Amino acid sequence: MSDITTIENEALAAVAAAADLEALDAVRVAELGKKGRVSGLMGSLGKMSPEERKENGPKLNALKNRVNDAITARKTELEAEALEKQLASEKLDLTLPPSPGPKAGALHPVMQVFEEVAAIFGDMGFTVAEGPDVEDDWHNFTALNFPEGHPARETHDTFFMKAQEGDTPKVLRTHTSPVQIRTMMDQKPPIRILVPGRVYRNDWDATHTPMFHQVEGLVIEKGTHMGHLKGCLIDFVKAFFEVDTVEARFRPHFFPFTEPSAEMDVKYTRKGETIEIGAGDSWMEILGSGMVHPNVLRNCGIDPNEYQGFAFGMGIDRLAMLKYGMPDLRPYFEADPQWTRHYGFAPWSTPSVSGGLS
């Protein structure tokens, strides 16, 4: 087979001339592929006589090995050249900060909303006040003008602690309003506080849990009236839901600790599973409010003829559901890392009115 030497010289020359990996692979297919020249010669061995196979078989195997070795060597050279070009073109700026690693944790949506609400009312001059979760009857009921026999004083609505014989049992607070009482008894007006915290009621379904989160506000000043209450809450709703306009109404309601009392409704529309506040034709109750009852002021040593005030309260968990599209309260308390990663927030991103809430 006189053409073995010719094929080898041409193949090795083509391998050496390959400028990149793509060209080299084309040479490999042309010589060693199924229809390649070397493969074709190897296939012709079956048509030869035993003497011819014995003579030409070793020559063809040697040809195939030399071409294959040349291709492998050239491939190594081309890969090294490509790496050199890549390193020359890519420069690493050692002054840049490192890339953030995988997110190890997230801020729970309830805590995010706490921060957002505090940022909004802090911009209005409110300060945060806190108090104990276990309360006595005076601070949780009596001082807040709850009459004897009110349903909130019953075990089907309130968690009572076991008391010694003859003592009035303490309760897990049913609202954060006792902090308002403590503040009014400890401080002189003017008062402007925001009271966030956990509260407890004997309830459990998709929109109610035995422990949930509430935030209340209290303003006690001379000359305070219902107009101040409405303006404060409308400004809050616009800031919290990050909308330019809100259509609101205040429906008369009854709360023992305010008079007059009102529930605030806002207009909304539903798009799929999301709710948009500030648009649409439907009304949704968002919070409760009212002017502080004169009896509550007197119980705290404040003259209702000199000072007036307003108060409001809302569920943080429900606000989070409305703003961030969470359909069920119960996963809030299931400690599911996947749920927290989906709905959670970066812990270092502090909400502010000027810099943005969410």
- Known binding-site residues equal 259
Contact 326/343 with Cβ under 8 angstroms? Answer: yes
SS3 292: strand
174 burial level (CB within 10 Å; 0-12, 13-18, 19+): buried
Please say whether the dihedral angle defined by the alpha carbons of residues 262, 267, 269 and 275, taken in this order, is positive or negative: negative
Q: How far apart are CA 61 and CA 30, in angstroms?
A: 17
> What residue numbers does the annotated binding site for Mg(2+) cover?
259
DSSP code of residue 157: T
Q: Which residue is associated with the tokens 């009312």?
A: 121
What are the angstrom distances between the C-alpha of 225 and each of 199, 215, 287, 330? 28, 21, 18, 38
What are the angstrom distances between the C-alpha of 105 and each of 108, 313, 323, 339, 345? 9, 30, 21, 11, 9
Helix axes 21-32 and 3-17, enclosed angle (nearest 10): 160
